[in-house]
């Protein structure tokens, strides 16, 4: 690793995890990064992908892919400040969790420190939205106090859909227990609300079902002063899927439905001119979607 060029906080000096903010009308969306991994062989996530196909979409380089056809992915949460309400979307993997994926297992990321340096204490979060309940979207909801998992955002309502609660419970037992360590403690503490996938949350925040990746997957529309943003969740994982919307991601529960959802949501994003915030997009995760024949293209903001 190169020597630091200045004496800033090393977290902020690393451009890959630095705080990024975008305005949506009078609302502000901030990315808080847990981790960004570069140099991933694309087949690791997309069985139909090849390095040649990646570099064939030259607009992906260098923000989302490298010239050798490897790809980058980020795990990040978005914090929305709208109408004096602070909303956290998809709080990442978390620390100290027993996970089957080695790069998520028993980690010690400075995520809460990064949140604090972006101006957010855990107590300030009033609402936690989960696009779905995979391990990388619920982790920071709890942290370990002795041997017990306890809520982190103790002043927040945490939203769930029944379909994804069921799916998450049914997926337990393969060496990790996301429900037990990251969701049950929220219910036990009385901080959970089960909502419909199309709920209007008020404050210009509206959920839209975007199933396929998981049965109850949803995306979040943000509207303020006539401007719109869309937080994707995992209906797509990487900007290459704008150009290759039929590429399924390995964890897509229903690949056929996920493809239909991707095309529908991409068309809506292009048509509305929304600022799209890609939950796993690296380096420049926000941008606009433009139509490119029967496919799309992503222009980072």
Q: What are the b/e assignments for 105-143, b being 16+ CB within 10 Å?
A: eebebebbebbeebebebebbebbbbbbbbbbbbbbbbb
Q: Is 217 an interacting residue with respect to Zn ion (CB under 5 A)?
A: no
Of 136 and 141, CB closest to Zn ion = 136
Check residue 179 and report its DSSP letter.
I
Strands (E), the chain: 20-24, 27-40, 71-82, 85-89, 127-129, 142-145, 148-151, 157-160, 192-194, 200-202, 205-209, 218-224, 227-231, 275-277, 286-292, 295-300
* Numbers of helices and strands, H then E, in the chain: 8, 16
Site for Zn ion in 46-65 (CB under 5 A): none
Binding characters for Zn ion, 100-139, by CB under 5 A (x = yes): ----------------------------------x-x---
Of 118-126, 148-156, 234-242, 289-297: span binding Zn ion (CB under 5 A): 234-242
Q: Which of 266, 128, 279 is nearest to 195 (CA)?
A: 128
Of 62-70, 174-182, 227-235, 285-293: span binding Zn ion (CB under 5 A): 227-235
Out of 34, 164, 177, 234, the residue judged to bind Zn ion by CB under 5 A: 234
Residue nearest to Zn ion (CB): 134
Of 39-47, 99-107, 138-146, 228-236: span binding Zn ion (CB under 5 A): 228-236
CB of 9 to Zn ion, least distance (A): 27
Of 57 and 134, CB closest to Zn ion = 134
Of 136 and 177, CB closest to Zn ion = 136
Site for Zn ion, rule CB under 5 A: 134, 136, 234
């Amino acid at each position: 690793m190169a020597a630091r060029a200045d004496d800033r906080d090393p977290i902020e000096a690393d451009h890959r995890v630095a705080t990024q903010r975008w305005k949506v009308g009078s609302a502000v969306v901030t990315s808080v990064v847990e981790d960004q991994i570069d140099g991933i062989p694309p087949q690791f996530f997309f069985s139909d992908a090849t390095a040649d196909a990646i570099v064939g979409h030259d607009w992906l380089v260098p923000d989302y892919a490298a010239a050798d056809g490897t790809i980058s992915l980020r795990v990040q949460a978005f914090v929305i400040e709208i109408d004096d309400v602070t909303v956290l979307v998809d709080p990442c993997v978390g620390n100290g969790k027993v996970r089957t994926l080695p790069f998520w297992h028993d980690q010690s990321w400075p995520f809460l420190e990064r949140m604090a340096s972006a101006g957010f204490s855990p107590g300030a979060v009033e609402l936690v939205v989960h696009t779905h309940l995979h391990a990388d979207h619920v982790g920071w909801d709890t942290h370990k106090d002795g041997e017990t998992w306890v809520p982190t955002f103790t002043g927040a309502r945490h939203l769930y859909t029944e379909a994804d609660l069921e799916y998450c419970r049914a997926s337990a037992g393969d060496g990790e227990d996301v429900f037990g360590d990251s969701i049950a403690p929220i219910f036990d503490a009385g901080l959970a609300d089960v909502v419909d996938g199309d709920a209007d949350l008020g404050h210009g925040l509206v959920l839209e079902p975007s199933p396929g990746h998981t049965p109850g997957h949803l995306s979040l529309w943000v509207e303020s002063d006539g401007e719109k943003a869309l937080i994707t969740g995992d209906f797509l994982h990487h900007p290459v899927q704008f150009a290759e919307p039929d590429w399924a991601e390995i964890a897509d529960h229903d690949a056929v439905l996920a493809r239909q959802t991707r095309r529908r949501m991409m068309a809506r994003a292009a048509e509305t001119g929304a600022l799209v915030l890609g939950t796993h997009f690296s380096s420049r995760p926000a941008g606009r979607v433009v139509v490119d024949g029967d496919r799309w293209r992503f222009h980072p903001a």
